[in-house]
């Protein structure tokens, strides 16, 4: 496992304006790098937040034409940092986008991509309704990426509710997990901290969870509380309200320590399908 490093999570309140969001995110990424961050992660929907189909496809571009991605690649190279852009809506087909994470190297290269697997199709109390699958094509491939300090497993937001994905990533070698998110206010208040701590504890991984926070131009209200969590489930840093960033030192040796204390990743057993009768 690698040496200690500083990780930062940026918290945003993305609008519909790509230019505004590039400027806001870039300023905070730059601040984090100047404060000593070696790895910086931004939230889901970093480049723009849109709930209307028409507006989404006016703004979403193919990867090779996305100006936010180009700007962030240049910024990573300028600052010489590892930069995870939590997600950008990338046009992948007529009427379909991918909710895609990008891991950028200190040279500005795209080291890994991840398309969100689990679509947020839910009806909440108070009339809130979301149908992510209407406009987005679900991913089908889990993603790992090598960092100088260990392996990163990439996920996005609603993926958090599917623990088997995180176990697969950890058993595939992940020491760190990224969960860039735009949790709603209601679900965040109820479940954000509990789910993130559980994923860290279950896997013995550090968790980096940069989040959107606030009242967005498109009408969404997001919970915020960006978090960095240890492999033992301790909250190492938590964001307050509003845009900003959190940062802490990460000691990768803590992953092995946590897994030695509770070696649950090594104790999986094949379980038979549920039965209504118990055979002795």
Catalytic positions, written as ranges: 44, 116, 157
Dist. CA 139–CA 119, nearest whole Å: 9
Closest C-alpha to 58, from 24, 86, 97 = 97
**In contact, 200 and 230? CB cutoff 8 Å:** yes
**Vertex 163, ends 241 and 232: CA angle to 5°?**
65
**In contact, 58 and 227? CB cutoff 8 Å:** no
Q: How far apart are the first and last CA of the chain?
A: 45
- Please, which residues have CB within 8 angstroms of residue 67's CB and are 6 or more apart in sequence? 18, 22, 61
- Please, which residues have CB within 8 angstroms of residue 205's CB and are 6 or more apart in sequence? 153, 166, 169, 170, 174, 175, 176, 177, 199, 231, 255
Query: What 3-state DSSP class applies to 232?
Result: coil
Dist. CA 182–CA 49, nearest whole Å: 9
Dist. CA 173–CA 77, nearest whole Å: 27
Please name the helix (run of DSSP H) or strand (run of DSSP E) that holds residue 56, with its range, or none.
Answer: helix 53-59
């Amino acid at each position: 496992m690698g040496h200690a490093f500083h990780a930062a999570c940026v918290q945003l309140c993305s609008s519909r304006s790509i230019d505004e969001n590039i400027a806001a995110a870039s300023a905070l990424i730059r601040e984090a790098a100047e404060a000593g961050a070696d790895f910086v992660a931004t939230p889901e929907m970093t480049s723009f937040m849109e709930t209307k189909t028409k507006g989404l496809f006016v703004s979403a571009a193919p990867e090779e034409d996305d100006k936010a991605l180009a700007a962030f690649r240049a910024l990573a190279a300028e600052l010489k940092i590892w930069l995870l852009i939590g997600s950008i809506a990338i046009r992948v087909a007529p009427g379909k986008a991918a909710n895609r994470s990008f891991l950028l190297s200190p040279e500005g290269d795209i080291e890994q991509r991840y398309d969100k697997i689990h679509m947020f199709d839910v009806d909440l109390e108070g009339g809130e309704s979301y149908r992510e699958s209407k406009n987005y094509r679900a991913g089908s491939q889990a993603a790992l990426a090598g960092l100088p300090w260990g392996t990163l497993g990439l996920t996005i937001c609603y993926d958090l509710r599917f623990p088997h994905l995180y176990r697969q990533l950890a058993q595939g070698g992940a020491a760190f997990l990224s969960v860039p998110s735009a949790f709603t206010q209601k679900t965040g208040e109820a479940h954000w901290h509990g789910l993130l701590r559980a994923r860290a504890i279950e896997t013995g991984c550090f968790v980096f969870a940069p989040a959107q926070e606030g009242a967005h131009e498109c009408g969404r209200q997001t919970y915020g509380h960006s978090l960095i969590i240890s492999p033992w489930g301790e909250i190492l840093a938590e964001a307050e309200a509003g845009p900003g960033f959190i940062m802490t030192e990460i000691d990768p040796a803590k992953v092995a320590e946590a897994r030695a204390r509770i070696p649950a990743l090594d104790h999986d057993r094949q379980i038979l399908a549920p039965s209504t009768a118990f055979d002795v």
